Structure 1
Amino acid sequence: MEKSYLRAFDEPDEVREFPFGRFEIVHLEGVSLGRATYSPGWKWSVHNAPKAGTALCHAPHTGTVLSGHGAVQYEDGVYLDLVPGTVFEISTQPHDSWVVGEEPYVSLHILNLHRH
């Protein structure tokens, strides 16, 4: 019989906190998942860029929006709306992202898959 796991983001393995945001990570045997929660007013280029040392984000993101409204804009001007139910795959092309409106934005991210 294969193992089963029950985990909760209320008890994550890792937490990354930054102004206006929090990223909780849970590791399972085959995958790591992250829950991003960003408050109204959060913008990557303002709140995360100083620590990252780059003007725009270069990390890929794959996941789905759980609540709120977010936006991504690539350096070349391509704009993406991220609303509940949206499944996204953001490339490593430089991009900025931010919360739209007055509601917190929450998304679930697939961080890595571990193949056995």
Structure 2
Amino acid sequence: MAGMIRKSLNEPEETRRFEDGKGKLDLINLESGGVGRAVFEPGWQWSRHVKPIAGTESCQAAHRGVVLAGRMVIVMDDGEEQEFSESDYMEVAPGHDAWVVGEEQCVILDWQGFVDYAKRQD
């Protein structure tokens, strides 16, 4: 590993857009994995705006990150539910749906689950 690495999410190596213009994921790639910043627009829901891209019944990515702005509800396949808001750290196992709460964008920085998130499985 180099002594220092500098990359900017303002100049991502990849951008993935969600269905219906309901947000995007900016991604930078590192040897240890990807780091992503996702912007989820009001009205966004995983099962409506990412499921058609992912092709799975629920989100199969594990997430570890921080909510930078807004609010999001995440519901696990077993029914467990939690709302996350600004400055909350989150760890979420695979097998969930999620949606934005309110009229503010939800912005999340994730350093575990965004490498394959919203990526078409061809």
TM-score clears 0.5 = yes
- Structural mapping, 1:1-116, within 5 Å: 3-19=3-19, 20-92=22-94, 94-111=95-112
Tell me if structure 1 keeps the 8 A contact 2:24–2:40. Answer: yes
| Contact 2:62 2:112 (8 Å CA) reproduced | no
Q: Distance in 1 between matches of 2:98 and 2:66?
A: 15
Question: Shift in Å at residue 33 of structure 1?
Answer: 0.9
**Structure 1: which 5+ residue stretches go unaligned?**
none
> Partner letter of residue 75 of structure 1?
D
SS in 1 for 2:99: strand
8 Å CA contact 1:39, 1:103 repeated in 2? yes
What is the rounded CA distance, in whole Å, between the counterparts of 2:32 and 2:48 in structure 1?
A: 34
TM-score, normalising length: structure 1: 0.86
SS in 2 for 1:56: coil
CA distance in 2: counterparts of 1:82 and 1:5, whole angstroms: 30
SS at match of 1:46: helix
Q: Secondary structure at the match of 1:32?
A: strand
**Runs of 4 or more consecutive aligned structure 1 residues displaced over 4 Å after TM superposition:** none
Distance 1:76 1:37 in 2: 26
2:17 touches 2:25 (CA, 8 Å); kept in 1? yes
Give the deviation of 1:88 after TM superposition.
0.8
Cα distance per residue 1:53-73 (max 9 Å; x no partner): 122111111101000001100
TM-score normalised to structure 2 length: 0.82
* Post-superposition CA distance 1:73-100 (Å, at most 9, x none): 01211111110111111002x2100100
Name the Cα RMSD after superposition.
1.6
Aligned length: 110
C-alpha displacement of 1:29: 4.6
Quick one: percent identity of the two aligned structures?
Answer: 37
